[in-house]
């Protein structure tokens, strides 16, 4: 009787082994297909998210450019108003003011180059040194 039980036990283990192997033969390929599908969906979701990020960055750049353009327009309006106050002419004092303002902006950025100041008539640069300066003409 024990031989029979051992034989049945061995036969049961063999049948279970064959069933397990058959399940693996059919199940593993389906699992691989499912796994690839899930990996593809994850990659698509990542690509969609990256596209959304690029779109948002482009929108932010566009908004920044619009604001920069508005700031430039306002600056131009301010300059036009200043010119009206100056009656369309730039005085020496206003030129000095613009020069100092430019120096302050450069200093704030840390881009201030070495400046060599050459005294001139009202800080107006001499463009043609071959001509006599107004001061020398007055002295003659």
Coil, helix or strand at residue 111? coil
User: Is 131 within a domain?
Assistant: no
Quick: pLDDT tens for 47-70.
Answer: 999 999 999 999 999 999 999 999
Read off the pLDDT of each residue in 93-118 and give the average, rounded to a whole number.
73
Does pLDDT of 127 surpass 90?
A: no
Q: Structurally, how many domains does the chain consist of?
A: 1
Helices (H), the chain: 2-85, 92-109, 134-139
Whose CA is closest to 91, among 117, 136, 119, 122?
A: 122
Q: Per the domain annotation, does 120 fall within a domain?
A: no
Q: Say how far apart CA 77 and CA 71 lie, in whole Å.
A: 10
DSSP-based three-state secondary structure for 60: helix
Q: Which residue has the tokens 């430039």?
A: 72
Better-scored residue on pLDDT, 73 or 85: 73
Expressed as residue numbers, the domain containing 95 is 2-106
Q: Is the pTM of this model over 0.75?
A: no
């Amino acid at each position: 009787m024990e031989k029979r039980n051992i034989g049945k036990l061995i036969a049961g283990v063999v049948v279970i082994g064959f069933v397990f192997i058959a399940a693996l033969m059919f199940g593993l390929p389906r699992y691989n297909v499912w796994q690839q599908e899930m990996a593809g969906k994850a990659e698509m979701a990542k690509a969609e998210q990256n596209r959304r990020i690029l779109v948002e960055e482009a929108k932010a750049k566009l908004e920044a450019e619009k604001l920069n353009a508005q700031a430039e327009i306002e600056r131009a309006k301010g300059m036009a108003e200043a010119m009206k106050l100056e009656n369309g002419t730039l005085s020496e004092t206003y030129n000095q003011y613009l020069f100092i303002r430019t120096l302050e902006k450069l200093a704030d950025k840390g881009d201030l180059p070495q400046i060599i100041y050459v005294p001139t008539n009202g800080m107006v640069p001499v463009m043609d040194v071959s001509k006599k300066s107004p001061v020398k003409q007055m002295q003659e």
